[in-house]
Amino acid sequence: MAKAASLAARPAAATGQPEESFLAGLGQRSLMLLVYAILLLWAFICLFPIYWTVTTSLKSAVDVTQGHLVPWLDFMPNWKGWKSLGLSPDTIFETSTVRDEFLKRFANSVVTSVGASLIAVVLGSLAAYGLSRFEYKFGPWRNEDISFFFLSQLILPPVVLAMPFLVLYKELALLDSTIGLILLYTLTVLPIVIWIMRDQFSSIPIELEEAAMVDGMGVWGAFWRIVLPISLPGMVAAFILSLVLCWNEYFFAALLTSTEAKTLPVMVASQTGSQGINWWSMAALSTAAIAPLVVIGIALERYIIKGLTAGSVK
Amino acid sequence: MKLEHYGLIKAQASRRQVLKGAASVGAMGALGALGAWPGTALAQGELRTQLLQIPGVGAGSPTDADWQKVGELCLEATKANVTEGEFAGVELTFMGLNNQNLHNLLFRGFLKSWEAYTGAKITWIDLAQADYNPRLQQAIATGTVDFDLLEMGAPFEGDVCGKGLASEMPDWVKAQIDMDDYVDYLKAPVGTWEGKTYRISIDGDCHNFNYRTDVFSDPDLAAAWKSEGGQGEWGVPKTWQQVQAATKFLKGKQVAGQDAYGYLDAPKAWGGFGFYFLGSRATAYAKHPDDKAWLFDVDTMKPRINNPAWVRAIQDVLDALPAEPPDQLNADPGTTAFQQFLAGTGSMVSWWGDVGSSAKTSDGSVIGDTVGFDILPGSDDVYNAKTGAWDKLPSGPNYAPNMAYIGWGVYVMARVDGDAKKHKAAWSAAAHLGGKDISLWASAYPSGFQPYRKSHFNVAEWVAAGYDEAFITSYLNSQSNSYNHPNAAIEPRIPGIFQYYSVAEDELAKIFAGQYDAQKGADNIAAAWEKITDQIGREQQLALYRASLGV
Amino acid sequence: MASTPLAAGRHYKHGAEDLPAGRRAAGRLLILLATLGLAAVFVVQLLDRLGVLPLGLPNWRPLLYAYVLWAVALCVGQVILRGEQGRRALFVLPALLFTISMVIFPTAFGLYIAFTDWNLSSFAGRQFNGLANLKALLQDAYFWNALRNTVYYVLAVLVEYALAFGLALLLNAEIRARRFFRIVFLLPFMLSPVAVSWMVGKSIMEYRFGPAATLARHLGWDRPAFFADPVIARLSIMAMDAWVTIPFVLILLLAGLQAMPKEITEAAKVDGANGWQTFWRITFPLMLPVSLTAIVLKIIFKLKLADIVINVTAGGPGGATDTVTSFIYREYRDRSNVGYGTMLAMFYLVLIIIFVILLLKFAQRRMRQGLG
């Protein structure tokens, strides 16, 4: 967005409703109808599989295999999926090994993904800020090389790190530990945070910090007092993307955890195997697994959008 | 309850639902009877009857409370060998499968009373099925075996027992679990590894033949069969030649207003397990009664996968696929059994016992009262690998049931051997899970395990539990006749066996998609197998292969 | 700001500071001492492991702690030694030291494994075998087939990008219920790949009962088998992957759009450009940097596509949907062929790095031309 600043110097029109520019150019009322039609169609595409998942947790297998869609209308919902997890109204107060297992994994998932995302956002934002503001030279490496080094950590298919990480974690006594999993997840989402935040910081006019420095703040002071508040929403967005990726990570969780640090995705995958599939319990587990993400998504949505619009704060 | 009744009325009355209603009425009667029993010490027979009433056939899936009750009722055998609190302070780790919240989670319920009685504490490592093999192999290779007890399929014995990682079974355990009661094929040599016993069997595995009785007794189809010049009477196929003919005949036909299909093949890869299904088609061609080997030559480890018998089985699949449902190319065995056969599509499928045990008890099944069982079909002729000729046996068609996967077992790892208390505790826990009575319950209710003991084949016990006699007889016979078949094709327990299967699946997928013909594809598999054998070590593989066959 | 060279004007000027010689010496000493300490711990651990100096250390944790201390000392030392420049380095050092410490051993060990014959079931264990894995790879029809499929999948990123861009424009417009649409459009990203495989691939798109198949029948497709024909199966996998990951691209693009100064498009309108022209002349070029980040990240995700393929088609029919990553999974996990699987991945890594570098270079040149 380097050139944005210079382009912005062109005379600005003072008309209202600037955001409509794209549509306004195209114009008519029928077009707005088309726009809403597209939005609704895409909303349907997004929602239908989620709807299907949630309702499947209330279906018997025969309702699944006959493709029934609407509860009460063409199938009678029951608590089957939730019962199998010990989370239905009639089982919630009974002892349930499955529920204990679910709750333990759920708690671990929360700690692991929140922990990893927080660390990644902190480390990643600092690094991204540095990379967008200063010229580094570590030996032959310059900024671009450093950025690419981070990015390259994202490229390798995780499967080939299985044996090396197994050996490494065994030697460091980090197997089956939440801290070990957090460190690994931090590593995997760090490049994404850095690349997103680099775009963020680049779109914040440098003049703000320069003014602050004239007032006698150091680089860290300027970062802390001026840049951070502006870009905090952007960090929230990066945090949420990281959270989702960590929350659903399956491969390393299956490899490196045993009894203590185990997380939810392995349990979701356990609903299928050589005896077919428990549609209802997989659906119930998937529903339970996305529920917290949806809540966070709704709570923080404004930050996601606003966050990544740091540049508009001028 | 209310909801379900409403569902019964509301939904279109299908056979399944009528059946379901009948079953729950039966269960209520049975539960009433249970309540009338005296709560005092039960004789063996009464214990088994009582076990089978938890929670009762047709009373829905057993819950955690049921598992715990079963575990508690079956604790007597443990009490005979262990004093109360004897293992206080012992901590054991158990690695096994979580398959649809059964296996490991079921074991937890079974072992709760054992833990309370002995004072030991068990922690659990649950793996999804797809991770099981890699996790086990990687743990072995990096020395991260961090478990004392292991639930494992017998085919992995080459990797675990072959590397000295398992603890040998003490004699008191053999007595406690009554090993003599095992069906014969699970005893030595299949039940042992190089002459030593490691496995507590908790399951027996074989593929049997599941078919639709209504399709093969349909008068319209019988007439059509005659008019189209089909050989003999329209009926349940007994040989693969008949299966092929019936499958091709059923293409385009209708039964009860629905498209009829014959045999259901599973061409899509399934993490190595899909190979068993080609195996089930091939054993009747490839397993000669005079020859114990059928997958590799016993002298050279040369693969037989590209011999005429296997190529014929592959060709059979290719010939049958056009007559199977249009999406069959993307069907894995899970699809054929649970989404097709049990849901009413197709009329023949090879599978483990789960199809039979689900047919009446699973909500996904619409075919409960129209399913029959038999051992796998035979073949009019069988390939003789020594002479290279197709033999016709004087006794008639050659049958060779496929003992696919042999069964799950519980193993104790050698790392407890140094600690006498831990050693005894681990074996006691394993013996509890492999007990004679507990296994009866596990084979009758959803658990993931099939009958595997002679005492499981007592039809009267099953009928008393609420099963339909004709149905359960047919089911149990298909199992026991497979286990006890003199020409059963037994899976070699060599290290890395799933590597062979996995690479075969890759090539088979290409053949089924029409990229190679059967022979060329089979040659490719053979070449890949030779490479694996060389990589793992030909001499050792050969020795272990011979040992596993008992030659 | 993707990889455009950082324009000089965007940076603070570094001025060489005059720091007292004593302070610089102290900084150097700190770093030196920390480094010596780290080296000493390493040597002691190594000797212990080799049995020369049997201390009975149960694991390499001490080295880990020593590394953390060294890293802290290095950061502090930088500030003492180089003043302002050190404080600036402090922004990027923690991430760098963290990443290096996490990957240095796995990468080195992985590289070594790539040149060994290591089948986990093998009796001989790990054996160095030079370039044999590489030779085998070059002749491996499965690898090249999977690579070709992967190219198709990567091309689909362009379609996903176009779709996401269109949706982002709509969301950026003055519409009602904007919050609702934004949240809804984000949802698919949250479902785990395993759940997507089963709930969408094996249930909604199921031939017999799936609602998608039913819909297709209503639309006149008699035999809606989504995964039986090679081309259709590939498209189906692409569609599922797109469903999951379009939200990711969408968020980044929407953010970029909102960050764009509105005055610019307004100015274009005053100049008489219509919406279409405004988009192509102003909006699209301005969005190029954000687009590049979005596309690069999305391509990298795409190159690692595996879960959905493994669960839904297992690479079939006949390898038509196989991806390099799913093939590596089979080789590495199902067949325990760790040496060869690692070589596959390392080779793939090199291919991808070359590809991404070329992509970035190309994009930068275009951007400079486009904006120059």
Question: Could you report the per-residue pLDDT of B166-198, keeping only the tens digit for each?
Answer: 999 999 999 999 999 999 999 988 999 988 999
Q: Is the pLDDT of residue B27 over 60?
A: no
- Structural domain tally of chain A? 1
- Any chains having at least 3 CB pairs less than 8 A from chain B are A, C
Of C87, C194, C210, nearest to A268 by CB-CB distance is C194
What is the number of H-type helices and E-type strands within chain B?
A: 22, 14
Whether C119 sits inside 8 A of B536 (CB atoms) is yes
Taking each helix axis as running N to C, give the angle between helix B518-536 and helix B497-512, from 0 to 180 degrees, rounded to the nearest 10: 160
Query: What number is the average pLDDT over the span A209-213?
Result: 84
Mean pLDDT estimate for chain B:
89
Which residue bears the tokens 């020593």?
A: C66
Mean pLDDT (chain A, rounded): 83
Judge whether A5 lies within some domain: no
For residue A9, being part of any structural domain is answered with no
* Domain B72-205+406-480, architecture per CATH: 3-Layer(aba) Sandwich (3.40)
Which among B320, B323, B291, B321 is positioned nearest to B307, based on CA atoms?
Answer: B291
B415 DSSP 8-state letter: G
Low-confidence ranges of chain C (pLDDT < 70): 1-17, 370-372
pLDDT of residue B31: 38
For chain B, give the percent of residues with pLDDT over 70. Answer: 91
Which residue blocks in chain A are alpha helix, DSSP H?
A: 2-8, 21-26, 29-56, 61-65, 80-84, 97-133, 143-152, 162-171, 178-202, 207-214, 219-222, 228-247, 251-256, 264-269, 279-307
Q: Cβ–Cβ contacts within 10 Å for residue B236, how many?
A: 19
For residue C312, the number of C-alpha atoms closer than 13 Å in the C-beta half-sphere is 37
Flag if A76 and B6 touch (Cβ within 8 Å).
yes
Given A64, A76, A258, which is nearest B7 (Cβ)? A76
**pLDDT of the residue at B212:** 95
Residue at token pair 């089924």: B512
| pLDDT value at residue A311 | 43
pLDDT of C255 reads 81
- Of the candidates B164, B90, B270, the one whose C-alpha atom is nearest the C-alpha of residue C315 is B270
Q: Does A313 have pLDDT greater than 50?
A: no
Confidence of residue B34 (pLDDT cuts 50, 70, 90): very low
Are the Cβ atoms of B499 and C335 closer than 8 angstroms?
A: yes
Name, in order, each residue with C-beta under 8 angstroms of A103's C-beta and a sequence gap of 6 or more.
none
Beta strands C127-128 and C116-117: pairing type?
Answer: antiparallel
Helices (H), A257-278: 264-269
Q: What whole-number distance in Å separates Cα of residue C325 and Cα of residue A160?
A: 10
Helix or strand (DSSP H, E) at B15: helix B15-35
Domain at B208-400+487-549, CATH from 3.30.70.260, 3.30.565.10, 3.30.428.10, 3.40.190.10: 3.40.190.10
User: Quick one: DSSP state of residue A12?
Assistant: P
Tell me phi and psi for residue C197, to 5 degrees: -55, -45
The answer to whether A108 and C79 are in contact (CB under 8 A) is: no
pLDDT tens-digit profile of A60-93? 877 877 778 888 888 888 888 888 888 888 888 8
| Contacting residues for C268 by C-beta, under 8 A, at least 6 apart | C277, C278, C281, C282
Q: Does B407 score more than 70 pLDDT? A: yes
Residue owning tokens 């839904």: C312
Give the residue, B342 or C267, on which the prediction is more confident. B342
Answer whether residue B42 shows pLDDT above 70.
Answer: no
Type of residue found at B65: A
Position B30 scores a pLDDT of 38
Residue (of B137, B181, B93) closest to B483 by Cα position: B181
B229 has pLDDT over 50: yes
Mutation pick from A97, A166, A264 vs chain B, by most beta carbons of B within 10 Å, is A97
Q: Domain-by-domain residue ranges, chain B?
A: 1-36, 72-205+406-480, 208-400+487-549
Q: Which residues of A touch B63 (CB under 8 A)?
A: 91, 94, 96
Q: Is the pLDDT of residue A172 over 70?
A: yes
- How far apart are the C-alpha atoms of B363 and A61, rounded to whole Å? 6
Structure tokens at C345: 């991945």
For residue B2, the model assigns a pLDDT of 36
Q: Is B394 within 8 Å of B120 (Cβ atoms)? A: no
CA-based nearest residue in chain C for residue A278? C198
Average pLDDT over residues B287-316: 96
CB-closest option in A62, A166, A267 to B366:
A62
Please list every residue in chain C whose beta carbon sits closer than 8 Å to the beta carbon of residue A241: 248, 251
Beta bridge partners of residue B255, listed in sequence order: B258
| Inside any domain, residue A181 | yes
pLDDT of residue A305: 63
Q: Facing residues of B398 across strands?
A: B379
For the stretch A254-271, pLDDT in tens is 989 999 999 999 998 888
Single-letter code of the amino acid located at B235: G
Identify whether A62 is part of a domain. Answer: no
Under 8 Å CB-to-CB from C131, ≥6 apart: which residues?
Answer: C115
- Domain assignment present for A19: no
Nearest CA in chain C to A18: C262
Single out the residue of A270, A275, A262 nearest to residue A286, CA to CA.
A270
pLDDT at C57: 84
Residues of C in contact with B535 (CB under 8 A): 117, 119, 122, 337
What the block records as the tokens of A4 is 């944005």
Q: Which of residues 55-84 of C touch A (CB under 8 A)?
A: 58-61, 64, 84
CB pairs under 8 A between A and C: 394
What domain range includes position A248?
A: 96-312
Percentage of chain B surpassing pLDDT 90?
74
Smallest CA–CA separation between A225 and chain C, in Å? 15
CB proximity under 8 Å: B 488-547 to C: 495-496, 498-499, 502-503, 505-506, 509-510, 512-515, 532, 535-537, 540
Kindly write down the DSSP assignment for every residue of B436-463, as one continuous string: HHHHHHHHHSSSS----BGGGG-HHHHH
Classify burial at A259, counting beta carbons within 10 Å of its beta carbon; exposed 0-12, middle 13-18, buried 19 or more.
Answer: middle
Give φ, ψ of B539 to 5 degrees: -60, -50
What is the reported pLDDT for B43?
67
* Strands B489-490 and B402-403, sheet pairing: parallel
**Helix or strand run (H / E) with residue B246:** helix B240-250
> Is the backbone of residue B218 left (phi > 0), alpha (psi -120 to 50) or beta?
beta
Residue-wise over B79-95: b if at least 16 C-beta within 10 A, else e?
eeebeeebbeebebbbb
Same fold, B72-205+406-480 and B208-400+487-549: yes
What are the tens digits of pLDDT across the range B88-100?
A: 999 999 999 998 8
Q: Yes or no: say if A60 and B363 are a contact pair by the CB < 8 Å rule.
A: yes
Task: Please tell me the predicted confidence (pLDDT) of residue A10.
Answer: 35
Alpha-carbon distance B224 to B251, whole Å?
A: 12
Closest by CA position to C190, among listed B109, A47, A230: A47
Q: Match 């770093």 to its residue by tokens.
A: C31
**DSSP letters spanning B341-390:** ITTT--SEEEE-THHHHHHHH-TT-S-GGGEEEESPPBBSSEEETTTTEE
A4 occurs within a structural domain: no
Residues of chain C contacting residue B275, judged by C-beta atoms under 8 Å apart: none
CA angle B193-B197-B201, nearest 5°? Answer: 100
| ipTM score of complex | 0.90
Cα–Cα separations (whole angstroms), residue C173 to A98, C170, C259: 47, 5, 13
A171: contact with C, CB 8 A cutoff: yes
The minimum CA-CA distance between A135 and chain B, rounded to whole Å, is: 43
- Burial class of residue B39 (count of CB atoms within 10 Å of its CB; 0-12, 13-18, 19+): exposed
Residues near C196 by beta carbon (within 8 Å), at least 6 away in sequence? A49, C240, C243, C244, C308
CATH code (residue A152): 1.10.3720.10
Dihedral over Cα of C137, C142, C146, C147: its sign = positive
Whole-angstrom distance, CA of residue B16 vs CA of residue B4: 14
- Report if residue A10 sits inside a domain: no
Q: Is C163 on the interface with B (CB under 8 A)?
A: no
How would residue B501 be classed by pLDDT, with cut points 50, 70 and 90? Answer: very high
Is residue A206 classed exposed, middle or buried when 0-12, 13-18 and 19+ CB atoms within 10 A define those classes?
A: middle
Report which of residues C177 and B122 the model is more confident about.
B122
Whether residue B19 is predicted with pLDDT greater than 90 in this model: the reply is: no
* Model confidence band, residue B287 (pLDDT cutoffs 50, 70, 90): very high
